[in-house]
């Protein structure tokens, strides 16, 4: 009788264990009750019990019982990490646990674009809902100091690229990444530069790269435009580049450069100053930096738009004036066709 009783108890226990195992498996493999991809934020210090309650309150699971007790039975499989996660439609509870235990947070991103300014990067950071703000009340000079930039104007020191980050990353952290990236890219390319360039420091090259970046969006032309500026600097000619005037005008620029603007002496008016302006005027992309440090070989001293996104290059002023007249003629024809 005793043996039969023990056998019955063992069978009952096995039955209970099998039922529990089935229920745990069902709870872990049943897709969460979500009809589309959702973000899930797990707070710092969350336990598996509080997390189970969170999912129950969101109605992603019908009961927290199985998840809570699964965590008690297998604590090593329930050591969830805080963060913001993207939970895809069709994900089951077991897959979600793996995601949270491994800490596979969702990677948001911001992109700093070639040719834009430092202030534009600040706007992008300020408008992103997943970035923690810390510099919104600081001046540009104060931000430069926090970044470790030895200049009151940090213009040009952010490398234009797409930067991935997790939720609640500090804006200053992303600025530091972009600054460090630019330092690394610039220093590496400076070591590989062509001989006999008219730039004494990497920073001077960065200033020129920003001008080239603003002069053309056609990458294939950048080395040739670089050669024009090199030729002018070697001949002690002024750069006479409109983008520097525009930068110097700041908010006063309304879409047109006037004769008065060209006559006005500012630190950035290269029609009035010799050599380079004091700082970059925009974020320089990799191609513009490479073009600065490896200019084409040419006899050109001038260039002007051909009205179709590229430029006409000239060796002397007479050729350049003809190219300017042709450009103005094409502009008038465009306006006539549009009207």
What is the tens place of the pLDDT at every residue in 179-208? 999 999 999 999 999 999 999 999 999 999
Examine the pLDDT at 178 and tell me if it is beyond 90. yes
E strands present in the chain: 38-42, 83-87, 108-111, 131-132, 162-165, 169-170, 302-305, 311-314
Residue-level pLDDT at 96: 94
- List, in order, residues 6 or more apart from 220 with CB less than 8 Å away: none
Residue-level pLDDT at 213: 97
Residue-level pLDDT at 82: 94
Question: What is the topology classification, in CATH, of domain 27-101?
Answer: Dna Ligase; domain 1 (3.30.1490)
- List, in order, residues 6 or more apart from 163 with CB less than 8 Å away: 109, 110, 111, 112, 174, 177, 178
**Pairwise CA distance, residues 292 & 311, whole Å:** 17
Please, what is the average pLDDT of the chain?
91
Q: At what angle do helices 202-215 and 222-234 cross, to 10 degrees?
A: 120
Examine the pLDDT at 73 and tell me if it is beyond 90. no
Residue-level pLDDT at 168: 94
144: tokens are: 């430069």
E strands present in 16-90: 38-42, 83-87
Length in residues, the chain = 339
Residue-level pLDDT at 165: 97
Q: In which residue are the tokens 């969460």 written?
A: 32
Q: What is the mean pLDDT of the segment spanning 275-304? A: 97
Residue extents of the structural domains in the chain: 27-101, 114-298
Percent of the chain's residues with pLDDT above 70: 93
C-alpha angle with apex 333: 328 to 336, nearest 5 degrees?
A: 130
Q: What is the mean pLDDT of the segment spanning 114-133? A: 96
Let me know: does 209 contact 288? Beta carbons within 8 Å: yes
What does each C-alpha distance from 236 to 92, 226, 231, 240, 299 come to in angstroms?
A: 70, 15, 9, 12, 15
Residue-level pLDDT at 236: 95
Q: At what angle do helices 118-127 and 140-147 cross, to 10 degrees?
A: 90
What band does 6 get if pLDDT is binned at 50, 70 and 90?
Answer: low
The whole-angstrom distance between residue 23's C-alpha and the CA centroid of its chain comes to 46
Examine the pLDDT at 294 and tell me if it is beyond 60. yes
Q: At what angle do helices 286-293 and 171-191 cross, to 10 degrees?
A: 30
133: tokens are: 């703000």
Examine the pLDDT at 12 and tell me if it is beyond 70. no
Residue-level pLDDT at 256: 87
Residue-level pLDDT at 210: 98
Angular region, 110: left φ>0, alpha ψ -120 to 50, beta rest: beta
What band does 4 get if pLDDT is binned at 50, 70 and 90?
Answer: low
Residue-level pLDDT at 13: 55
Examine the pLDDT at 153 and tell me if it is beyond 90. yes
Q: What is the mean pLDDT of the segment spanning 113-120? A: 96
223: tokens are: 């080395």
User: Within 10 A of 51 (CB to CB), how many other CB atoms are there?
Assistant: 22
The end-to-end CA distance of the chain, in Å, is 107
What is the tens place of the pLDDT at every residue in 261-274? 999 989 999 999 99
Q: What is residue 267's DSSP assignment?
A: T
Residue-level pLDDT at 330: 81
Torsion on CA atoms 62, 65, 68, 74, rounded to nearest 10: -110
Residue-level pLDDT at 71: 85
What band does 327 get if pLDDT is binned at 50, 70 and 90?
Answer: confident
Q: What is residue 200's DSSP assignment?
A: S
């Amino acid at each position: 009788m005793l043996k039969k009783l023990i056998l019955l108890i063992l069978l009952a226990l096995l039955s209970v264990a099998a039922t529990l195992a089935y229920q745990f498996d069902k709870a872990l493999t049943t897709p969460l009750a979500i009809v589309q991809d959702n973000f899930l934020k797990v707070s710092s210090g969350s336990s598996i019990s509080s997390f189970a309650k969170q999912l129950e309150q969101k109605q992603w699971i019908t009961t927290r019982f199985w998840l809570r007790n699964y965590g008690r039975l297998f604590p090593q499989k329930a050591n969830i990490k805080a963060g913001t996660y993207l939970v895809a439609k069709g994900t089951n509870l077991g897959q979600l646990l793996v995601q949270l235990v491994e800490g596979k947070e969702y990677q948001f991103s911001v992109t700093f674009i070639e040719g834009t300014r430092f202030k534009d990067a600040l706007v992008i950071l300020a408008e992103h809902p997943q970035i923690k703000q810390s510099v919104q009340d600081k001046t540009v000079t104060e931000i430069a100091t926090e970044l470790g930039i030895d200049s009151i104007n940090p213009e040009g020191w952010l490398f234009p690229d797409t930067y991935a980050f997790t939720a609640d990353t500090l804006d200053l952290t992303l600025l530091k990444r972009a600054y460090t990236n630019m330092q690394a890219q610039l220093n590496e390319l400076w070591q590989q530069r062509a001989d006999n360039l008219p730039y004494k420091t990497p920073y001077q090259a960065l200033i020129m790269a920003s001008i080239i970046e603003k002069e053309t969006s056609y990458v294939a032309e950048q080395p040739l435009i670089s050669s024009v500026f090199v030729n002018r600097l070697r001949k002690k000619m002024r750069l006479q580049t409109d983008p520097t005037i525009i930068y110097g005008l700041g908010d006063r620029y309304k879409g047109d450069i006037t004769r008065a603007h060209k006559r006005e002496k500012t630190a950035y008016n290269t029609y009035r100053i010799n050599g380079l302006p004091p700082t970059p005027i925009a974020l320089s992309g990799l191609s513009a930096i490479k073009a600065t440090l490896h200019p084409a070989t040419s006899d050109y001293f001038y260039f002007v738009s051909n009205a179709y996104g590229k430029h006409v290059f000239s060796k002397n002023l007479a050729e350049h004036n003809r190219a300017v007249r042709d450009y103005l003629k094409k502009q008038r024809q465009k306006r006539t066709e549009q009207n």
